[in-house]
């Protein structure tokens, strides 16, 4: 019996799909990948190329050899924007082309990509490489097809710009129609509204929130083709309303051209924000929050303009600093708004969670300790540090203290069995419980008040634990443990009972940090993932809100929002979440009550 794709699993072929569908299926199922990794669907505009690809996509998941893993609509995109979208669809998060290719080079899973309208790609000033479809081929598609696991079906109207695809082997071409391969469509910029039709305030300022989607998408494209483009371009890139509502891709392509004048710091801000703003699922408030967070350090004037738009939003960044790398963070129990932070050299700082101000904490310096991968803080009674070698170190307590005993216990276990070396460290917000994860997937819970000789331990994961935290429940005093590992799972365990049989979440990504904090609406669990997403869990209901991560995150710390002098007391549902990693740190103000009452964007 044939094991190839069954054409009956596709919609009934008709017209162009009847004529060319079997040939496309035969290539996908039968062509040896080592000889032909590229199939071009070529033809003039209106001849049915897109219809053929839509038909193929409709049934592609019915067989492994035809399953499409990512679909890219290339019209109006350049290499960076295509890489952001491809990374999102593959579960890596939005990545620059070179970073995406690095990830794919070590990922041996088969990759089948469908690219629509490659010949209509390109954005920005016409004399810059980003405006030429050949640049997308050279910078992304060609190196992508040099990877042995990659195959692609690509729609084109003309193939003159495909000369660089030497690594794709034999190129299979399906010609749709017999007209000249010429794109007769109008340019995207020409379809935008005339400037005189844009809605304006009585003072003449464009109301971009009321403009049509087409006008917002192509306003900058039109400005680039104007007889005197510079005044119009400068007006757009200096308009915060357009930055929130305009085309992320068009702005990114223009700001990459150093000849175009731009407000100070905007290029740096846009470089940080654009990969996330390119997510079409974000609505206006979320876009404003992302742009505000990216602008805090490099474009403070823009951040101040955007701040009032976030007054009723569930989250907003309060500070950002990229001048200091952070290797570990821990909220200090009993000192709301205070974070203990470690830099890559092992120096410890007390960090004001509300302002981002560092103060050197000399009594608890970690001089001589290797790079820290985790930390648990306990007010004035010391801290427990986890080095990247799996060794635990206690600082700031008297000899023979409980933290030293915990470090010694796990040190002996790690020497006896390498899989028992600690790989993650956390503590409860009240400072009464320490929790560790190890290389074999076990989690160990210590009560600092019980004086126990050994921890309560359970195997929760099938891979090394990457992050762990815990919470002492206010009702019954029991401990709730939360952990994540290299198997992509997040697990919950109430220590008075057996662990839950199944994870509460499993993703094709790696969770790099987690923290928990109590609020008036129930505990909030924050989990950072390596696909540039931050998941905020409402533990009582299991609801999740996904936020973008602007910087790589290796550590999280959450505290109740610190009090501000001469200002009304903040709601007890408000938290301050500090995010730290190799490229710096920033903090978010979270309103836990609004996080789940506001309709979140689709995951």
CB 572 within 8 A of CB 518: no
The pLDDT of residue 486 is above 60: yes
The pLDDT of residue 180 is above 50: no
d(CA 146, CA 150): 8
The pLDDT of residue 50 is above 70: yes
DSSP codes, 460-483:
--SS-EEEEEEEE-TTT--EEEEE
For the chain, the C-alpha Rg in angstroms (whole number) is 27
d(CA 25, CA 295): 48
Contacts of 161 by beta carbon, 8 Å cutoff, 6+ apart: 119, 132, 133, 134, 137
Q: Which helix (H) or strand (E) holds 513?
A: strand 511-517
pLDDT confidence band for 501 (50 / 70 / 90)? confident
The confidence score (pLDDT) of residue 169 equals 66
Q: What is the pLDDT of residues 398-434, one digit of tens each?
A: 777 889 999 999 999 999 898 999 999 999 999 999 9
Q: What is the pLDDT of residues 336-377, one digit of tens each?
A: 889 999 988 878 888 999 999 987 654 445 445 667 889 999
pLDDT above 70 covers a percentage of the chain that reads 89
* Residue 292 DSSP SS3: helix
The pLDDT of residue 562 is above 80: no
The pLDDT of residue 293 is above 90: yes
Across residues 286-295, what is the average pLDDT? Answer: 96
d(CA 75, CA 534): 30
The pLDDT of residue 190 is above 80: no
The confidence score (pLDDT) of residue 26 equals 87
pLDDT above 90 covers a percentage of the chain that reads 63
Q: By CB neighbour count within 10 A (0-12 exposed, 13-18 middle, 19+ buried), where does 448 fall?
A: buried
Q: Which of 480, 487, 485, 492 is nearest to 424 (CA)?
A: 485
The pLDDT of residue 145 is above 70: yes
pLDDT confidence band for 573 (50 / 70 / 90)? confident
Cα dist. 95→83, 88, 91, 110, 393 in Å? 6, 8, 11, 19, 36
pLDDT confidence band for 14 (50 / 70 / 90)? confident
The pLDDT of residue 329 is above 80: yes
CB 6 within 8 A of CB 51: no
The pLDDT of residue 126 is above 50: yes
pLDDT confidence band for 323 (50 / 70 / 90)? confident
The pLDDT of residue 242 is above 80: yes
Per the listing, tokens 């084109």 go with 156
The pLDDT of residue 1 is above 50: no
Phi-psi domain of 250 (left: phi exceeds 0; alpha: psi -120 through 50; beta: other): alpha
The DSSP letter of residue 428 is -
Q: Which of 140, 170, 162, 126 is nearest to 37 (CA)?
A: 170
Fold of 318-597: Methylamine Dehydrogenase; Chain H (2.130.10)
* Residue 134 DSSP SS3: helix
The pLDDT of residue 572 is above 90: no
Beta strands 111-116 and 70-73 are parallel
Q: What is the pLDDT of residues 435-458, one digit of tens each?
A: 999 999 999 999 998 778 899 999
Q: What is the 3-state secondary structure (H, E, C) of 68-130?
A: CCEEEECCCCCHHHHHHHHHHHHCCCCCCHHHHHHHHHHCCCCEEEEEECHHHCCCCCCCCHH
Per the listing, tokens 């407000």 go with 263
Per the listing, tokens 């340019």 go with 187
The confidence score (pLDDT) of residue 186 equals 36
Architecture of the domain whose range is 7-175: 3-Layer(aba) Sandwich (3.40)
The confidence score (pLDDT) of residue 362 equals 46
Contacts of 37 by beta carbon, 8 Å cutoff, 6+ apart: 145, 150, 151, 152, 168, 169
Across residues 172-178, what is the average pLDDT? Answer: 80
Per domain, the residue ranges of the chain are 7-175, 189-312, 318-597
The confidence score (pLDDT) of residue 32 equals 67
The confidence score (pLDDT) of residue 564 equals 53
The pLDDT mean for the chain works out to: 88
């Amino acid at each position: 019996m044939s094991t190839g794709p069954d054409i009956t699993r596709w919609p009934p072929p008709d017209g162009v799909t009847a004529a060319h569908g079997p040939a496309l299926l035969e290539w996908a199922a039968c062509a040896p990948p080592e000889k032909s990794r590229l199939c071009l669907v070529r033809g003039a505009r209106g001849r049915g190329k897109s219809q053929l690809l839509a038909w193929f996509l409709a049934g592609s998941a019915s067989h492994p050899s035809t399953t499409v893993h990512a679909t890219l609509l290339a019209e109006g995109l350049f290499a960076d924007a295509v890489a952001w979208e491809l990374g999102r669809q593959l579960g890596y998060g939005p990545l620059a082309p070179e970073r995406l290719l690095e990830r794919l080079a070590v990922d041996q899973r088969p990759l089948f990509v469908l690219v629509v309208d490659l010949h209509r790609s390109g954005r920005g000033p016409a004399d810059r490489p980003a405006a030429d479809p050949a640049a997308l081929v050279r910078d992304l598609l060609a190196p992508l097809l040099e990877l042995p696991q990659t195959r692609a079906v690509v729609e084109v109207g003309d193939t003159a710009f495909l000369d660089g695809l030497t690594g794709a082997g034999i190129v299979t071409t399906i010609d749709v129609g017999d007209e000249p391969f010429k794109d007769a469509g109008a340019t995207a910029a020409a379809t935008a509204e005339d400037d005189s039709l844009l809605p304006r305030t009585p003072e003449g300022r464009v109301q971009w929130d009321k403009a049509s989607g087409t006008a917002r998408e192509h306003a900058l494209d039109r400005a680039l083709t104007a007889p005197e483009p510079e005044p119009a371009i400068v007006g757009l890139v200096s308009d915060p309303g357009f930055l929130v509502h305009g085309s992320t891709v068009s702005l990114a392509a223009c700001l990459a051209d150093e000849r175009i004048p731009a407000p100070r710091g905007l290029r740096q801000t846009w470089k940080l924000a654009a990969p996330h703003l390119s997510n079409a699922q974000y609505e206006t408030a979320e876009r404003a929050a992302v742009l505000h967070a990216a602008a805090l350090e490099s474009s403070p004037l823009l951040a101040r303009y955007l701040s009032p738009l976030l007054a009723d939003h569930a989250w907003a960044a309060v500070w950002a600093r990229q001048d200091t790398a952070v290797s570990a963070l821990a909220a200090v129990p009993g000192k709301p708004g205070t974070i203990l932070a470690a830099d890559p050299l092992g120096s410890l700082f007390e960090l004001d969670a509300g302002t981002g101000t560092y103060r050197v904490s000399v009594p608890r310096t970690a001089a001589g300790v290797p790079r820290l991968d985790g930390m648990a803080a306990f007010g004035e009674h010391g801290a427990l540090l986890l080095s990247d070698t799996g060794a635990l170190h206690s600082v700031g307590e008297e000899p023979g203290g409980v933290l030293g005993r915990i470090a010694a216990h796990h040190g002996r276990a790690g020497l006896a069995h390498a899989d028992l070396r600690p790989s993650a460290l956390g503590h409860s917000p009240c400072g009464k419980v320490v929790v560790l994860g190890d290389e074999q997937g076990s989690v160990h819970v210590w009560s600092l008040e019980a004086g126990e000789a050994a921890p309560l331990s359970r195997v929760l994961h099938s891979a090394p634990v990457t992050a762990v935290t815990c919470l002492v429940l206010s009702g019954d005093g029991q401990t709730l443990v939360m952990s994540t590992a290299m198997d992509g799972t997040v697990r919950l365990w109430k220590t008075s009972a057996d662990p839950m049989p199944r994870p509460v979440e499993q993703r094709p990504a790696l969770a790099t940090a987690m923290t928990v904090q109590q609020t008036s609406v129930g505990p909030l669990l924050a989990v950072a993932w390596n696909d540039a997403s931050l998941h905020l869990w409402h533990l009582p209901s299991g609801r999740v809100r996904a936020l973008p991560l602007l910087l790589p995150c290796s550590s999280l710390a959450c505290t109740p929002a610190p009090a501000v002098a001469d200002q009304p007391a903040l709601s007890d549902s408000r938290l301050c979440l500090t995010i730290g990693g190799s490229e710096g740190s920033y903090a978010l103000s979270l309103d836990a009550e609004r996080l789940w009452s506001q309709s979140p964007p689709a995951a």
